[in-house]
C-alpha cells in the first residue's frame, strides 16, 4: 500500500463525510488535505488505542521525531511520507500547528479530565483548530477574517466528533464531557457506562450539541463571501455534520446504544448541493 493509499484509507475512506468534503476542495490541495487529516487521526487515536501510559508517551515522542524527519525529508511512517510528498513541497508551512496536535494529546493523556468547557476548548483548539487552520490555508483565502472561520470550524468539528464517538471513548476509559456540564445535567461518570441514554444523559448530550451548533453557526457567519467558494470543502463538511446532528437530536441522542449515519447517497447529494450553492453565491457576490 502506498503512503497516499494509506492516508486515504485512514482519514477519508470512500463514503465517509471527509471523503465527500475533500472531493470539493481545490484539486491541487486534495492530497495534502488527506495527509493532514490522516496525521491528525494517527496522533489523536494514540490515547484510545494504547492502554499503557508509558507506551502512549513513547508513541507521542516518536511522532515528535517523525515531524522533524518530515521537514528534513526522511519520514518513516506512511503518513509522514505522504506529508513529505504532498503537504510540504511548494509551501511555507508553519511547524507549530502540527506540533500542537501532539501537545493536545499529551495534555489529554496526562490529565484526562475537563472541569469546565474552558479546559476542553483548549484541547479542541490544539488537536482540531490547528489542523483546520492549516486546511484553510491549503484551500486558499483572501480575507483575513477567514481565519476566524477556521478557528470556529475546527472547534465545531472536534466537538461534534467527541460527541458522536462518546461510547467508543467511554469504552476506552476516556471522557470528553466537561464536569460542570455533567453536574448541570445530573450525570455521574459511572452513568455513562450503562450503555443506556437516560434522560439526564440526554440533557448532557443536548448541552454538547447546542454548543457544537453555536460554533458551526459562528464559523459560517464569519466566512467572507469572497472566500466561500475556495473554502467550499469545509462548508460541505459543516453541512454534513449539522445534518447528522439533526438526525441524532431527532432520535433522542442514542449515542450509547447505537451509531447513526447518513447514507453515502445522501452525503453525496448534500455535498453536491452545498458546493453548488457556494459557486452560485460567488457568482452573485462578484
Does 210 reside within a domain? yes
Report CA 119 to chain centroid distance, whole Å: 17
Does 285 reside within a domain? no
Q: What is the pLDDT of residues 133-163, one digit of tens each?
A: 999 999 999 999 999 999 999 999 999 999 9
Does 253 reside within a domain? yes
φ and ψ of 142, to 5 deg: -115, -35
- Residues of the domain holding 222: 3-280
* Structure confidence at residue 127 (pLDDT): 94
We report the CATH number of the domain holding residue 77 as 1.10.600.10
| Cβ-defined contacts of 73-80 (< 8 Å, 24+) | 77/42, 78/1, 78/2, 78/3, 78/6, 78/7, 79/3, 79/6, 79/7, 79/10, 79/35, 79/38, 79/39, 79/42, 80/39
Does 286 reside within a domain? no
Does 33 reside within a domain? yes
User: Comparing 280 with 8, which gets the higher pLDDT?
Assistant: 8
Q: How many domains does the chain have?
A: 1
| C-alpha span between 281 and 121 (Å, rounded) | 32
Does 195 reside within a domain? yes
Residue 284 has pLDDT above 70, yes or no: no
Best CA proximity match to 99, nearest among 73, 74, 71:
71
- What single string gives the DSSP state of each residue in 150-212? HHHHHHHHHHHHHHHTHHHHHHTT---S-HHHHHHHT--GGGGGGSS--HHHHHHHHHHHHHH
Grid coordinates given for 149? 472561520
Q: What is the pTM of this model?
A: 0.93
Q: What is the pLDDT of residues 219-249, one digit of tens each?
A: 999 999 999 999 999 999 999 999 999 999 9
Does 232 reside within a domain? yes
Q: What is the pLDDT of residues 49-108, one digit of tens each?
A: 888 899 999 999 999 999 999 989 999 999 999 999 998 887 777 778 899 999 999 989
Amino acid at each position: 500500500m502506498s503512503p497516499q493509499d494509506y492516508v486515504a484509507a485512514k482519514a477519508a475512506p470512500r463514503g465517509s463525510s471527509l471523503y465527500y468534503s475533500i472531493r470539493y476542495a481545490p484539486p491541487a490541495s486534495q492530497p495534502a488535505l488527506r495527509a493532514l487529516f490522516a496525521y491528525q487521526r494517527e496522533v489523536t487515536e494514540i490515547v484510545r488505542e494504547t492502554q499503557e501510559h508509558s507506551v502512549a508517551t513513547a508513541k507521542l515522542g516518536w511522532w515528535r521525531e517523525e515531524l522533524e524527519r518530515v521537514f528534513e525529508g526522511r519520514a518513516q511512517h506512511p503518513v509522514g511520507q505522504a506529508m513529505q510528498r504532498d503537504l510540504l513541497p511548494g509551501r511555507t508551512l508553519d511547524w507549530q500547528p502540527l506540533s500542537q496536535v501532539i501537545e493536545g494529546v499529551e495534555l489529554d493523556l496526562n490529565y484526562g479530565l475537563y472541569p469546565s468547557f474552558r479546559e476542553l476548548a483548549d484541547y479542541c483548539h490544539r488537536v482540531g483548530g490547528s489542523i483546520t487552520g492549516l486546511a484553510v490555508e491549503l484551500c486558499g483565502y483572501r480575507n483575513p477574517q477567514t481565519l476566524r472561520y477556521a478557528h470556529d470550524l475546527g472547534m465545531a468539528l472536534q466537538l461534534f466528533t467527541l460527541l458522536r464517538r462518546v461510547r467508543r471513548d467511554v469504552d476506552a476509559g476516556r471522557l470528553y464531557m466537561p464536569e460542570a456540564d455533567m453536574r448541570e445535567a445530573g450525570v455521574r461518570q459511572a452513568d455513562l457506562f450503562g450503555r443506556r441514554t437516560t434522560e439526564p444523559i440526554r440533557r448532557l448530550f443536548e448541552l454538547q450539541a447546542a454548543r457544537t451548533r453555536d460554533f458551526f453557526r459562528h464559523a459560517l457567519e464569519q466566512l467572507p463571501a469572497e472566500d466561500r467558494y475556495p473554502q467550499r470543502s469545509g462548508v460541505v463538511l459543516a453541512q454534513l455534520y449539522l445534518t447528522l446532528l439533526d438526525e441524532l437530536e431527532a432520535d433522542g441522542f442514542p449515542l450509547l446504544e447505537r451509531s447513526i449515519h447518513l447514507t453515502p447517497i445522501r452525503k453525496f447529494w448534500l455535498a453536491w448541493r452545498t458546493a453548488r450553492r457556494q459557486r452560485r453565491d460567488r457568482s452573485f457576490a462578484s
